[in-house]
Chain A
């Protein structure tokens, strides 16, 4: 072996342990041990483009945690909530859930809003045997991951059929022809669109045109012109509120006066601000209505506004319900072991939540009603409630 050979070998060997370096510096703290408190985890998009979703949900959960702690906790143990940000990134979501279930040793995980992120976190929970309750992931695939994964919101097929049913049966619409405008970058939008079309065609309706856009687009005139020429009775726009606001403004400018119809992605106080009067007379399905006279809804709105100085949107209400359903199951469970807790969660029937009476079915999905809201003067007004199976 020559001298230079040997040197280059030694250099190459230096390379290898570098990967180990960060591990060594990271330090190894012992995991959380049994303490007089119960730790639950929440992973959410607290930063990034969907930050409002994560923050609303987290506020709702915090309210529920405060309430249960004020009432003496669960069997004398206080609840401690750990919230981790995932930046709206699937890889970070997986890492955050791994940290919650292993290093932090939480008994249950709440989250995520976006279905794509729930799908990243759920397998980790399933594998480590920690129950996960997602407040608002509507994609059917999420709970199919395994028997540890639950949800407290309705699923896309139900919401799609609710919208289709409403479109074809509501007195003001009686739609036979629908146009669809989908955000093709959003799994939520694509999924809802498919389910709407299925249900609408089953009810005898016809989808006359399908147009797409990308979240963040500013100009929708090409799509809206195509929709106008197909003369639909209703335009289904299953997008998020920022884009929907622009769509409404430009549709009215183009002389397209057909009512727009959408899903829970519309639910934001920003919608009225963006679209103004252009959105009036349009409908969307949602998890709950702030106008619901039900005392438990009004009490929740009052408490939430006091604590967080803003009115709760649907995601906050779902976060609150998810946490309360989890706490109710914890109270009933004999132990906080993952399996026992999951079994109790599955037993949830007729839980009186803010977003309706919630029962968990055999597929660990919530069976509950949806409400239809109509935009009037920039504010959502309650129109009707559609029950599951109706």
Chain B
């Protein structure tokens, strides 16, 4: 039976299916598994396109763009919160520099798409229609933003090997602030395509990304389709990670580092890996944010205020619960908009609601559970979610 790294990454149930399949026909079983593995992506992309094409037309009046925008912001917030949850919820580290990764990735993505467009098409206007060349450049930019952020995640993850709790929090806080101050030192955006082509490489030092004013004029490619397609990828990866041996090992680090180490879990590797994965998705989300209409990416975004927004979402959602964090991210993004009627008391009401929610459910909206665990009928048939804690001990074996 061929056991590729790909199939290993699948969740526990898939590998179980693999065993049964190998008994009959290994070849068709592998193809079937691959197809099954791709199914969630297909479903997600179909839903994303539905959202993209249908949503603006079902809202009466002229309010379409407004609600589309809120739904876009919710999507980006979910990507951010779910990825942060890999570090804070699953691995039990405390990072408050997530917006730093987002902003770093956002600047990288904006840099690529802005100067890419300038170089290729001579202007920073959006180019090509739906799925056109412009959007291709945009997606590539977002991915490279994610890769740069992942690299930074590796660097920030390293100190977490020696530090934990509050001390690590300070390191991640410092990271966000460093990004903010470095970005303030950058040069002016070059808005002349001719000067750009003749100027040579020296004009790229320091990177011309706008300094304190922020990076404006970035082509506005972000739409519901791309946000929700990337959201799908984030969710599938987060979910499969949680159910995989790797994820179990991460959870074991959260539950008890010494016990995990005694069982053979490489703690250092799990922590750094969590940081790298989370930073990658934060970087991609930053790319989406940078290309959103009516947004200017500025160094201020890397500061701790925005990081705290995402920390609140993970805490409110429940540590390690993907659906809980999604709910919290959606709620906390939409809430300030629906509280606009309160005018200047809006943020007081918002903070008050946060306090009430934390008092009523200190373990978060869903605690360590996922949303389907709320249906008691399913608990007996499926793998009980209470294995989350006990899996800590069995995870080395799963690996």
Which A residues fall within an 8 A CB radius of B?
Answer: 1-2, 4-5, 7-9, 11-23, 26, 28-31, 46-47, 83-85, 87, 90-95, 97-99, 102-103, 105, 115-116, 119-121, 123-124, 127-128, 139, 141, 184-187, 189-191, 214
In the assembled complex, B203 has its CB within 8 A of some CB on chain A: no
Closest B residue, CB atoms, query A12:
B40
B294-A116 in contact (CB<8A): no
A102-B13 in contact (CB<8A): no
Which of B60, B212, B220 touches A184 (beta carbons < 8 Å)?
Answer: B212
B65-A4 in contact (CB<8A): no
Known pairs A9-B40, A91-B292 / 8 extra A-B pairs, C-beta < 8 Å: A15-B239, A19-B71, A26-B334, A28-B63, A46-B343, A85-B343, A95-B70, A116-B213
A91-B73 in contact (CB<8A): yes
Which of B21, B294, B301, B326 touches A95 (beta carbons < 8 Å)?
Answer: B294
List B contacts of A19 (CB < 8 A). 51, 71, 74-75, 78, 228, 231, 326, 330
Query: 28 A-B Cβ contacts within 8 A?
Result: A2-B13, A2-B16, A2-B21, A4-B13, A8-B13, A14-B372, A16-B235, A19-B75, A19-B78, A21-B327, A22-B330, A47-B347, A85-B346, A93-B294, A94-B69, A98-B65, A98-B69, A102-B62, A103-B63, A116-B296, A120-B296, A124-B294, A139-B213, A141-B213, A184-B212, A187-B211, A187-B212, A191-B213
Which of A18, A28, A94, A191 touches B293 (beta carbons < 8 Å)?
Answer: A94
Which of B13, B294, B336 touches A120 (beta carbons < 8 Å)?
Answer: B294
Residue among A14, A19, A99, A190 having the largest count of chain B Cβ atoms under 10 Å = A19
A13-B43, A90-B295 known; A190-B340 Cβ under 8 A: no
A22-B334 in contact (CB<8A): yes
Residue among A5, A85, A119, A123 having the largest count of chain B Cβ atoms under 10 Å = A5
Which of A16, A95, A116 touches B44 (beta carbons < 8 Å)?
Answer: A16
Closest A residue, CB atoms, query B322:
A15
Chain B nearest CB from A121 CB (Å) reads: 7
Secondary structure at the A interface, as helix, strand, loop or mixed, is helix
Which of A18, A95, A124, A127 touches B330 (beta carbons < 8 Å)?
Answer: A18
Residues of B263-316 contacting chain A, CB below 8 A: 289, 292-296, 298-301
List A contacts of B236 (CB < 8 A). 12
A31 to B17, CA, bound (A): 52
Instruction: Report the tally of A-B residue pairs with Cβ distances under 8 A.
Output: 191
In the assembled complex, B216 has its CB within 8 A of some CB on chain A: yes
**Interface 0/1 of B158-199, CB less than 8 Å to A:** 000000000000000000000001001100000000000000
A102 to B60, CA, bound (A): 11
A9 to B40, CA, bound (A): 7
Chain B nearest CB from A49 CB (Å) reads: 10
In the assembled complex, B388 has its CB within 8 A of some CB on chain A: no
Going nearest first, the 4 A-B pairs with the smallest beta carbon separation are A94-B294, A31-B61, A187-B213, A4-B13
Chain B nearest CB from A350 CB (Å) reads: 32
In the assembled complex, B36 has its CB within 8 A of some CB on chain A: yes
List B contacts of A98 (CB < 8 A). 65-66, 69, 294
Chain A nearest CB from B317 CB (Å) reads: 11
